[in-house]
Structure 1
């Protein structure tokens, strides 16, 4: 991701509805697991890594960009700078590899997934989020340096080809998909939509997307896909 976008994200992610709900979903997954060693690949400023730490994980943030790594370090997070396709990590070190909205930025996404397989212990888990559906491509994707959006099939195949056993794939941001599609399709809405919104609107949007924790929306078309898989 562009360093400017990383800095913008770091400014708004604490309160922004999208980032808050994504952290809530990460925490929900983590509470089902026994804490161990984890790596957050493409951690940016490290806010998701802090969720791991808060729930008892011994976590490392892996970040390629120097500005993102510095911001994570300033938060007191253990940061390693490196390329996700060539992790500077020995084999079989981690119980969990987490990578949220990263694979779509990397040309060799299969190389990243193979590296996850390499650094995980047998039985280790991956938690992944990516943008969904190539039909949703917009100027937002160009602005944040996306190379692709994924389908369920392409995301599942990516991990199965690396040897992972898929446990779950679900859609996210289903209810707001029509509004997001409309907003990104407007000619006046060029560029990224990573931006602050008013406090009242932020509360409304968070309440709406939060409903998906309790509704059977996971198989419907959404804006993102989330995957959980395991190394045999």
Structure 2
């Protein structure tokens, strides 16, 4: 039985899921945001790690990775396929990320690849402040939004980039990247699936102080 609503369907046909995930090159998948990836060694949080391919690629680049995956079959498969001394594997889920937050860590990059659209409106609203809290100063949050037909058995929502940007701005994150692209996977591309790629950066305390001072100076008495 599925324990986390957003993971519905991901415990089915796991072998096919791994095959699709493993056949997507890191550079192709992350082309729109490679310029905002931190230089190694950095601390990476991969939420919804899936097959573990991204976590392994980041680890092989010299980063340390906390890979979070709530679907037991995927987590077990990811560990079997991509176990690495620089990767820590964790069973946790959005929107609360209680196990991640309990560790008291912050990260230079938080990645949600093909995850955000599995959350409903209330879950998205609750999740964004938690993601912001996990970013180190100048840390980067990257997430992708899927648009198009929903695969049978999956729980997905139509999520607008404008809503996501507004939630991020309310959590003291500023937009770095906003791009739309066709699906990399041929079958999805033929079905008309597109993706919005978003990247945000945490504002540091000095930035917020300057913004507040500017607002005060411009405000009428």
Same fold by TM-score, threshold 0.5 exceeded?
A: yes
Give me the whole-angstrom Cα distance separating, in 1, the residues matched to 2:179 and 2:157: 18
**Counterpart in 1 of 2:113?**
100
Larger radius of gyration: 2
Deviation at 1:92, TM superposition (A): 4.7
Which SS does the other structure have where 1:9 is aligned?
helix
Would you say the 8 A contact 2:46–2:65 is kept in 1? Answer: yes
1:116 aligns with 2:131: yes
Would you say the 8 A contact 2:49–2:67 is kept in 1? Answer: yes
**Counterpart in 2 of 1:170?**
179
Deviation at 1:47, TM superposition (A): 0.8
Would you say the 8 A contact 1:30–1:55 is kept in 2? Answer: no
Map of 1:153-168 to 2, 5 A cutoff?
153-168=162-177
Would you say the 8 A contact 1:38–1:97 is kept in 2? Answer: yes
Which SS does the other structure have where 1:83 is aligned?
coil
* Residue 57 (structure 2) aligned to one of 18, 31, 51: 51
1:4 aligns with 2:12: yes
Structure 1: segments with no counterpart, 5+ residues? 186-221
Would you say the 8 A contact 1:44–1:63 is kept in 2? Answer: yes
**Counterpart in 1 of 2:196?**
225
Question: Are the structure 2 counterparts of residues 13 and 92 from structure 1 closer, same or farther at C-alpha, using a change threshold of 3 Å?
Answer: closer
Deviation at 1:121, TM superposition (A): 1.5
**Counterpart in 2 of 1:125?**
140
Which SS does the other structure have where 2:41 is aligned?
coil
Give me the whole-angstrom Cα distance separating, in 1, the residues matched to 2:40 and 2:160: 30
Root-mean-square deviation (Å) = 3.0
The runs of at least 4 aligned residues of structure 1 exceeding 4 Å deviation read 23-26, 174-177
Would you say the 8 A contact 1:62–1:81 is kept in 2? Answer: yes
**Counterpart in 2 of 1:81?**
91
Give me the whole-angstrom Cα distance separating, in 2, the residues matched to 1:119 and 1:156: 17
TM-score (norm 2): 0.72
1:150 aligns with 2:172: no
Give me the whole-angstrom Cα distance separating, in 2, the residues matched to 1:175 and 1:61: 23
TM-score (norm 1): 0.68
